[in-house]
Copies of this chain bind each other. A is one copy, B any other.
């Protein structure tokens, strides 16, 4: 609570540096030296503050994965109608990813490559209640004749796919379509509205 600069103390500096390096390079690609350099300290400090590379990684991973499903549960509890809930989730989800574009690939990749590193128990604890609530909302909407019948799991997969995948596939999209950085950003902005309407268009009766 002293200086309150951004990188107040050494621990903060390390965590900030580790976050950048791990998210950019992944666990196996990251180098402790890179983290030390970026934090402007030396390698020995890393081990003073954090037992080893794995511990440091686990911290960063769990912190990062926690950002993946922000306030969706509150959103599901709100009194918005079903379609507006979809609109809100899509918009805020894409917005989160625009702010942190590397997170989806980072999380998905590490979950595939390092299934043991505690992410399973982490998510099982975290298991966002919003999934259950979302499934329920879908089933209700079907019963009420508001939308066409569809397996809720497919609908949820479709939604998150269209939100997250373009960021994962960004390098390929840029090559295949010829869009540049700024146009890509514009496209992602558009998707905050477009994806929701695309979904609603498809399921509404």
Residues of chain A having any CB pair with chain B under 8 Å = 25-26, 28-29, 102, 105, 107-109, 111-113, 115, 119-120, 123-124, 127-128, 131, 148, 150-151, 153-154, 156-158, 160-162, 164-166, 168-173, 175-177, 179, 187, 190-191, 194-195, 198-199, 201-203
Which of B108, B158, B165, B201 is A160 in contact with, Cβ under 8 Å? B165
Chain B neighbourhood of A150, CB < 8 A:
194, 198
CB-CB under 8 A for A26 and B113, given A107-B172, A202-B199: yes
- When C-beta atoms are compared, the residue in chain B nearest to A202 turns out to be B202
Copy tally for this chain in the complex stands at 2
Cβ of A153 to closest chain B Cβ, rounded Å: 6
CA distance A136 to B148 in the complex (A): 31
Tell me whether A198 and B202 are in contact in the complex, defined as CB-CB below 8 angstroms, given that A26-B28, A175-B124, A187-B153 are known contacts: yes
Given A168-B108, A199-B202, A120 and B175 contact (CB-CB distance below 8 Å) = yes
Our pick among B29, B124, B127, B195 for the contact of A158 (Cβ within 8 Å) is: B195
Q: How near does chain B come to A184, taking the closest CB pair, in angstroms?
A: 10
Chain B residue contacts of A153, Cβ below 8 A = 177, 179, 187
**Given A153-B177, A154-B191, do A112 and B28 touch, yes or no (CB 8 Å)?**
no
Q: A113 CA to B102 CA in the complex, in Å?
A: 11
- Nearest CB of chain B from residue A23's CB, rounded to whole Å: 11
Look across to chain B and name the residue whose beta carbon is closest to the beta carbon of A176. B131
9 closest A-B pairs by CB: A161-B165, A202-B202, A28-B29, A111-B171, A165-B165, A201-B202, A161-B161, A28-B28, A161-B162
Chain B residues in 8 Å Cβ range of A157: 162, 165-166, 169, 173, 187, 191
